[in-house]
Structure 1
């Protein structure tokens, strides 16, 4: 009787093992448990078909979920590698990305891009040095809503040439009631390297900015080439 009790408990042991191991139970382990159950079942009280079907269905669902997770991991890795390879192509090129840091080199400044919304009555472009001192300001002419670009000549408000280095820009806008209006700015910068962090690819610009690949507005080198091709005098 004691032997029979041990044999009839094989099915329960099988179910308990299947539930306890969960995702750690692979196909080989499942088959080993199944064979052990068949070998040790009570001939006078064999396991019912419904129980086998339930156990097989449970493992099938588990295996499908495991395969799905592996497939998703593979897709994610492929996507991340694709982003990294794409980022490599940006090295040496000049891109436009959100920010307010300007680079002044040999009297030439980074290009400034900004967007004006509806209801802007007036505004100004303000340039600051690394110490936060206002070195240049210019009143913006009245413009309709849209996207614009601006080139700073690298001089202060009095027309004096400023030294090379890093500067920052802030665009102040007001509506007809004198209330401040938000302005989004983007600055171009040359890509000097790439970095991968938490599965995302970032471009390292010469001005020190780290820009996510998805935040790049456009490649300014390509825009300038198109403009030059359209205007043969340039």
Structure 2
């Protein structure tokens, strides 16, 4: 099992990030200095009767400026991504102990209250069908209709069946599918309220450990209670 970090023990090494930026900056400065030395040497060694073409010199200077600009952009993006990652980790740590709407397919139904869920609808899906199955895989309820592409669709089920009776308490499964713009059937993510037990910070990003034992990505969290 991966090691989890508590909020108090989480530390972000900004100094390492700064050292990396300083190294890249020094490398860029070294490249510029080397280029200028070579250019000066080339000018000193040129044939006075056949001097270097101005367009050629301008082209070489433009090339080093382009390389330098790209290097600076890379450093800026590295710093930005590092800051974003640190911010995301802090936000994820604040979820510990809270209820979140996260990917889930199995639900415990209590006839005394409604079952709450949510469907993540992709940008290119406008038609959806949803079925509710009991623990034996039997369809106990279903519905379909038009949805707004890209929306998060809240869903409640009170357990009322087609014959008017109430579903029994127990485990139920929700499966949702939609049709995309190409007419292909796609599976839609079903979400339910779950408690966050801990979070993990690793190379693959921030992972959220739920009370159900499931582990989901921080970016899949839809709502926080």
Question: What is the TM-score when the length of structure 1 is the normalising length?
Answer: 0.53
Larger Cα Rg: Structure 1 or Structure 2? 1
- Trace 1:149-228 onto structure 2 (pairs within 5 A): 149-150=156-157, 169-170=173-174, 185-196=190-201, 200-219=205-224, 221=225
For residues 40 and 207 of structure 2, the distance between their equivalents in structure 1, rounded to whole angstroms, comes to 53
For residues 151 and 24 of structure 1, the distance between their equivalents in structure 2, rounded to whole angstroms, comes to 67
Q: 1:32 aligns with which of 33, 37, 41?
A: 37
3-state SS, counterpart of residue 26 of structure 1: helix
Structure 1: unaligned runs, 5 residues or longer:
1-22, 174-181, 222-234
Preserved CA contact (<8 Å) 1:110 1:188: no
| RMSD over aligned Cα atoms | 4.5
For residues 114 and 167 of structure 2, the distance between their equivalents in structure 1, rounded to whole angstroms, comes to 20
For residues 110 and 204 of structure 1, the distance between their equivalents in structure 2, rounded to whole angstroms, comes to 25
For residues 125 and 211 of structure 1, the distance between their equivalents in structure 2, rounded to whole angstroms, comes to 23
Alpha carbons of 1:45 and 1:158: their partners in 2 closer, same or farther (altered >3 Å)? closer
- CA displacement 1:103-153 (0-9 Å, x = unmatched): 79xxxx9954156x9898xx974343xxxx56x986689xxx97433589x
2:95 is aligned with 1:90: yes
For residues 54 and 158 of structure 1, the distance between their equivalents in structure 2, rounded to whole angstroms, comes to 77
Tell me which residue corresponds to 1:99: 104
Structure 2: unaligned runs, 5 residues or longer:
1-27, 120-125, 148-152, 160-165, 178-186
Q: 1:53 aligns with which of 55, 58, 61?
A: 58
Judging by fraction of residues, say which structure has more helix.
Answer: 1
Question: What is the TM-score when the length of structure 2 is the normalising length?
Answer: 0.55
Preserved CA contact (<8 Å) 1:80 1:199: no
Higher-RCO chain (CA-CA 8 Å, sequence separation at least 6): 2
Preserved CA contact (<8 Å) 2:105 2:175: no
3-state SS, counterpart of residue 92 of structure 2: helix
For residues 68 and 158 of structure 1, the distance between their equivalents in structure 2, rounded to whole angstroms, comes to 59
Preserved CA contact (<8 Å) 1:194 1:202: yes
Aligned residues: 170
Q: 1:70 aligns with which of 55, 66, 75?
A: 75
For residues 67 and 84 of structure 2, the distance between their equivalents in structure 1, rounded to whole angstroms, comes to 26
